[in-house]
Structure 1
Amino acid sequence: MRLPETAAVLAVRRGVREWVAAHGGRGPVVVGLSGGADSLALVAAAVVEAGEVTAVVVDHRLQEGSGAVADRAVEQAMGLGCVGAMVVPVDVGRAGGVEAAARVARYAALDSVRDGRPVLLGHTLDDQAETVLLGLARGSGGRSIQGMVAWNSPWGRPMLGVRRAQTVRMCADLGIEPWDDPHNADPGYTRVRVREEVLPLLEEVLGGGVAQALARTADQLRADGAVLDAYADELLRAARVVQTGGAFGSDPPTLSIEILATAPPALRRRAVRTWLADQGVTGLVNAHLQAIDELVSNWHGQGGVAVAGGSRDHRLVVTREHGTLAVRAQTRI
């Protein structure tokens, strides 16, 4: 399919072309397709700019008629020049809420069929701005407002510099009708209210340019964060304590309180976060990190800090013992 050279089409193509050039050149890719304007525009641009494109439609089966929506998206993808298109039905759980569970199921489905190929996703600059605002509201530090990255293998996001209005315009220019997901207008979802109420209000009050400013902020924080992460990794290597009886092997490594305590708090917390992730600790929030930091910098005999992770029978607790920080499994009562 030959694409018209409208402003919207050229903007989306430029985003995909620059992403392809920065990440290894043309080659077979998978595109996650919902049938909405963003992913349809991405499919059309990727066919021209990226090489062989296979579209994968994940049917979450959360709405009546979702199968028909998925089948229509497959037809549109093939009409745009994809070498293949498929529907992957999934079962969505309830852990963490429907939105989070659907995201987990979607990514797992895309990963299961990509066959070594990168997966391109249709997130736009507007999605990035929403993500930064939601991260800011969580108050979990700079990492939570770094937004999405253009490449986090195997996931690629070529349109983080493209506005949502441009993908909608591109679909109109191509004469294709995107699907409007009713969930995207449901005020029961926090992200929808940020999109429909918060961002427009900020644009009005601050005189425009807010979405772009939020995206730039995310870019700058990621660059700063990469430097801090490198220093934190050095601190983590220095603070690791070899367990008695051999190399770090059988027992999880502990961290030297003395070395941690002499480090700047920002580096110490980053190092501890990475160490905890290695021990299977999930869902850390700022309150956890503050309480754990107190074990290092302001210890006065307080007990350990319970964190998420572990199993049905055991919970994970971060404790201070014999001059080290340790993660221990404790029997649930």
Structure 2
Amino acid sequence: MTGPPPAVAAVRRAVRRALGRLGPGDLVLVACSGGADSLALAGAAAFAAPRLGLRAGGVTVDHGLQPGSAERAAAVAATLRGLGLDPVDSVAVRVGAEGGPEGAARTARYTALDTAARRHGAAAVLLGHTRDDQAETVLLRLARGSGARSLAGMPADTGRYLRPLLGLPRAQVRTACADMGLTAWADPHNADFAYARARVRHAALPALEEALGPGVAEALARTADLLRDDADALEEWADSAEAGARAGGPGLDAAALAALPRAVRTRLLRRAALAAGCPAGALGAVHVAGLDRLVTAWRGQSHVDLPGGRRGRRAGGRILVDAPGDPGFARA
């Protein structure tokens, strides 16, 4: 008796491992764009979930950004139903402008997936990101000067979101899709150099492979795994230090912060800024560095301007982040 083709077997194994955290009867939804990666994921989930005592459904999101997108979404939904997935949703979204075209589409997509998961009571949503997607993410964030947490890339498990294929190369996953007899749709945006990820995929990574030899994507993904371990450890350290830094009054105690390593201190300062209402997407390293100078290079300077109209300041030996209307805002 012969088994499935090697690529299909690899994708099914990855999905089985990811689903091992779920309980009998749980529903898992596969997010499927109709591309080869997410179709292979859907096919593997349709095979593996029932054998684990789970239910498997699917969701496809129509971003409305290309002609014929509604018809394409309907075709993807039909394919998912043909695989035996149930329930299957096709959700049309409106993509805004905030965060650029890629960021706005991502926000709309995840909002739709969250809504579908809540509506159906899904225990998990499967995403089709591969090892190559991870490498692209690391390169994009490296170019932005991101810290360890951002360079850690995409985790395999984020709350309800699971990425079973994160350890598999894209070529293997696409071979699995073909071996399953599934016809994938090639999104033209994936080859459009107006998008940063397309430039990384089709220009930057191939150039690195040519200059440094094969294995760059694998090495970048491995780096992300190592940095995630480091970032997790530093977050735990920050958790344990936060109570002491907050003791004694509002804000954070500057002396307690100064005694911490910079990697831990800046995490606490970032948390304080976010808690005060600074938008996460706009709060950058330059803003946190400004807050850090209030701790390590205090010379009586005035406030630090932060996103969302907030201001950071030092008063009475404490670091405070004020919003408009707070008593200390006008004094900053």
Please tell me the residue identity of whatever aligns with 1:111: D
Which residue is 1:15 aligned to?
14
Partner of residue 83 from structure 2, selected from 80, 83, 86:
80
**Contact 1:138–1:144 (8 Å) recurs in 2:** no
Residue 39 of structure 2 is aligned to residue 40 of structure 1: yes
Please tell me the residue identity of whatever aligns with 1:182: P
Which residue is 2:223 aligned to?
217
Distance 1:194 1:317 in 2: 36
- Structure 1, residues 57-101: CA drift from partner, whole Å, max 9, x if none? 111111110001101101111111212212111111101112111
Any residues of structure 2 matched to 1:266-281 within 5 Å, and which? 266-281=263-278
**Contact 1:4–1:173 (8 Å) recurs in 2:** no
Which residue is 2:287 aligned to?
288
Which residue is 1:176 aligned to?
182
Which residue is 1:24 aligned to?
22
**Contact 2:36–2:185 (8 Å) recurs in 1:** yes
Please tell me the residue identity of whatever aligns with 1:12: V
Secondary structure of the equivalent of 1:188?
A: coil
- Figure out how many residues of one structure are paired with residues of the other and give that number: 316
Secondary structure of the equivalent of 1:293?
A: helix
Any residues of structure 2 matched to 1:1-333 within 5 Å, and which? 5-21=4-20, 23-24=21-22, 27-50=26-49, 51-115=54-118, 116-117=121-122, 118-243=124-249, 253-281=250-278, 282=280, 283-309=282-308, 315-330=309-324
Superposed displacement of residue 12, structure 1: 0.9
Superposed displacement of residue 25, structure 1: 5.0
Distance 1:48 1:278 in 2: 44
**Contact 1:44–1:81 (8 Å) recurs in 2:** no
Q: Which runs of 5+ in 2 are unaligned?
A: none
Which residue is 1:248 aligned to?
none
Secondary structure of the equivalent of 1:187?
A: coil
What is the TM-score of this pair, normalised by structure 2?
0.91
Secondary structure of the equivalent of 2:59?
A: strand
Distance 2:22 2:56 in 1: 15
Distance 2:260 2:149 in 1: 19
Secondary structure of the equivalent of 1:129?
A: helix
Superposed displacement of residue 176, structure 1: 1.7
Distance 2:198 2:274 in 1: 30
**Contact 1:236–1:272 (8 Å) recurs in 2:** no
Distance 2:215 2:271 in 1: 35
Please tell me the residue identity of whatever aligns with 2:244: A
- Structure 1, residues 159-202: CA drift from partner, whole Å, max 9, x if none? 10111112221221122211111110100111110000111111
Superposed displacement of residue 265, structure 1: 1.1
- Structure 1, residues 27-82: CA drift from partner, whole Å, max 9, x if none? 31011111111111111111122332111111111111000110110111111121
Secondary structure of the equivalent of 2:323?
A: strand
Secondary structure of the equivalent of 1:330?
A: coil
RMSD value, Cα: 1.8
Distance 1:277 1:8 in 2: 44
Distance 2:275 2:9 in 1: 43
**Contact 1:254–1:324 (8 Å) recurs in 2:** yes
